[in-house]
Structure 1
Amino acid sequence: MKIFAHISWLFATIVIFLSLSMMIIFFHVLPKPYSRKFSAWIIRIYTFFSVEIKGKEHPETQMFLLNHQSDLDIAIMETITKKDLAWVAKKELFNIPFFGLALKLPKDIAVERESKTSLIKLLRDAKVVIENNRTITMFPEGTRSTKGKMLPFKSGAKMVADKFKLRVQPVVLMQTSKYYNVKNFFYRPGRIKVIFLDSFIADKNDKDWLNNLREKMQKEYDHELANNPRHR
């Protein structure tokens, strides 16, 4: 079974690589953001995973905050919303050959950890994104967490949302690492559940809203996990 899972992982990884190649090739041919949407749909179709959605996307959402478990997470989000998403990612990813180009072309936002000047740049870049009617999309944990417990949320999400008084919508992705896990060289097709929680306007006077949001998202995740055996 492990050998089959590894072979399947290789197939899925090749699909992801080819889809990113097509996104880069067609970026200046297709209107924004369709090259990325097209790439994401290729991943979704040819890796044979489907999506079940609970809740509704708010049409005026300006920032999505998602938990992060798998490299599938981006493709999932791109295929369930028509919004032009501006992903926030660590600066090192932008410097990776080929993959970095897939982030630079759409003008996603690069952040440098533990850098005060990077936070200033984050605010400046976020302002440009908002002015261009794009939707900031972040993994506030800052990295993948595959153990079922969300990591502490980084403060950058709150800083941006508070500064521009954004409408924030949290999104809970269920067990995506069970379907594609790059560290374990594991892949299997399946049905992935996405939960849209209620949106809200960021309030800088509420100093704990980000921590409270993490607890709310974790509670929703735990509830879904406890009541739906398919996720285990």
Structure 2
Amino acid sequence: MKIFAHISWLFATIVIAISLTIMIITFYMLPRPYSRKFSAWLIRTAIFFRIEVEGKEDSDAQMFLLNHQSDLDIVVLETITKRDIAWVAKKELFEIPFFGLALKLPQDIAVERESKTSLIKLLKDAKHVLKTNRAIAMFPEGTRSTKDVMLPFKSGAKIVADANKLRVQPVVLMQSGKYYNTKKFYYKPGRIKAIFLESFIADKSDENWLSDLRIKMQKVYNDELANNPSSR
């Protein structure tokens, strides 16, 4: 069984690499954001994982905040919304050969951890993205969580949202790391559930809204695990 999971992981990883290559090749051939959407749909279709959506996307949302467990998380959001997404990712990812190009071409937002100058650049890049009617997507945990407990949310999401008074929509992804794990070289086809929560306008006068949001998202995650066996 483990051998099959490792073979499946290799196949899924090859599919992801091919899909990114297609995205890069077709980026200037297709209107935005079709090259990225096509790449995401190719991954979703070719490796046979399904997505169940609960709740409704707010078409006016300017920022999506998602919990992060797997590289498939990006594919999930890209295939359940038609919006042109600007992903916020750590600067190191932009510097990886080939993969970094898949982030640079769509002009995603690079952020350097523990850097005050990077924070200024983040705010500037976010403002530019919003002017082009793109939506910002962030993983406020900053990295993948390996268990069913979300990591503390980083302040960057709050700073960007507060500065621009953004309409924020949280999205809870259920156990995507159970299906695709790059550290264990493991993949199995399955169903990933995405839960859209109610959107809200960021209010900088509320100092705790981001930490309160983590508690709310964790509760939704826990309730889904407790009440829906297929999400375990």
Q: Secondary structure at the match of 1:161?
A: helix
One-letter amino acid of the counterpart of residue 227, structure 1: N
Q: Note the residue ranges of structure 2 that are not aligned, 5 or more in a row.
A: none
Q: Secondary structure at the match of 1:195?
A: strand
One-letter amino acid of the counterpart of residue 12, structure 2: A
Distance in structure 1 (CA, Å) of the matches to 2:28 and 2:124: 25
Q: Does 1:119 align with 2:119?
A: yes
Describe how 1:74-153 pairs up with structure 2 within 5 A: 74-153=74-153
CA drift of 1:231 comes to 2.1
TM-score, scaled to structure 1: 0.99
- Listed one character per residue, the Cα deviations across residues 101-120 of structure 1 (whole Å, up to 9, x for unaligned) are 00000000000000000000
Q: Secondary structure at the match of 1:52?
A: strand
RMSD, aligned CA = 0.4
Instruction: Report the counterpart of residue 194 of structure 1 in structure 2.
Output: 194
Q: Secondary structure at the match of 1:172?
A: strand
Q: Does 1:225 align with 2:219?
A: no
One-letter amino acid of the counterpart of residue 157, structure 2: A
One-letter amino acid of the counterpart of residue 116, structure 1: K
One-letter amino acid of the counterpart of residue 31, structure 1: P
- Listed one character per residue, the Cα deviations across residues 40-74 of structure 1 (whole Å, up to 9, x for unaligned) are 00000001011110000001000000000000000
Distance in structure 1 (CA, Å) of the matches to 2:170 and 2:32: 24
Q: Does 1:48 align with 2:65?
A: no
Instruction: Report the counterpart of residue 5 of structure 1 in structure 2.
Output: 5
Q: Secondary structure at the match of 1:88?
A: strand
One-letter amino acid of the counterpart of residue 6, structure 2: H
CA drift of 1:228 comes to 1.1
CA drift of 1:191 comes to 1.2
One-letter amino acid of the counterpart of residue 6, structure 1: H
Distance in structure 2 (CA, Å) of the matches to 1:30 and 1:47: 24
Distance in structure 1 (CA, Å) of the matches to 2:182 and 2:37: 22
Which runs of 4 or more aligned residues in structure 1 lie more than 2 Å from their structure 2 counterparts after TM superposition? Answer: none
Q: Does 1:68 align with 2:68?
A: yes
Distance in structure 1 (CA, Å) of the matches to 2:67 and 2:114: 21
One-letter amino acid of the counterpart of residue 221, structure 1: Y
Q: Secondary structure at the match of 2:169?
A: strand
- Percent identical residues: 75
Q: Secondary structure at the match of 1:74?
A: helix
Distance in structure 1 (CA, Å) of the matches to 2:74 and 2:42: 13
Instruction: Report the counterpart of residue 163 of structure 1 in structure 2.
Output: 163
Distance in structure 1 (CA, Å) of the matches to 2:102 and 2:34: 13
- Listed one character per residue, the Cα deviations across residues 70-96 of structure 1 (whole Å, up to 9, x for unaligned) are 000001100000000000000000000
Q: Secondary structure at the match of 2:113?
A: coil
One-letter amino acid of the counterpart of residue 200, structure 2: F
One-letter amino acid of the counterpart of residue 198, structure 1: E
CA drift of 1:230 comes to 1.5
CA drift of 1:146 comes to 1.9
Q: Secondary structure at the match of 1:29?
A: coil
One-letter amino acid of the counterpart of residue 43, structure 1: I
One-letter amino acid of the counterpart of residue 207, structure 2: K
Q: Note the residue ranges of structure 1 that are not aligned, 5 or more in a row.
A: none
Distance in structure 2 (CA, Å) of the matches to 1:55 and 1:208: 24
One-letter amino acid of the counterpart of residue 172, structure 1: V
One-letter amino acid of the counterpart of residue 16, structure 1: I
One-letter amino acid of the counterpart of residue 121, structure 2: K
CA drift of 1:229 comes to 1.2
Q: State the number of aligned residues.
A: 232
Q: Secondary structure at the match of 1:48?
A: coil
Instruction: Report the counterpart of residue 19 of structure 1 in structure 2.
Output: 19
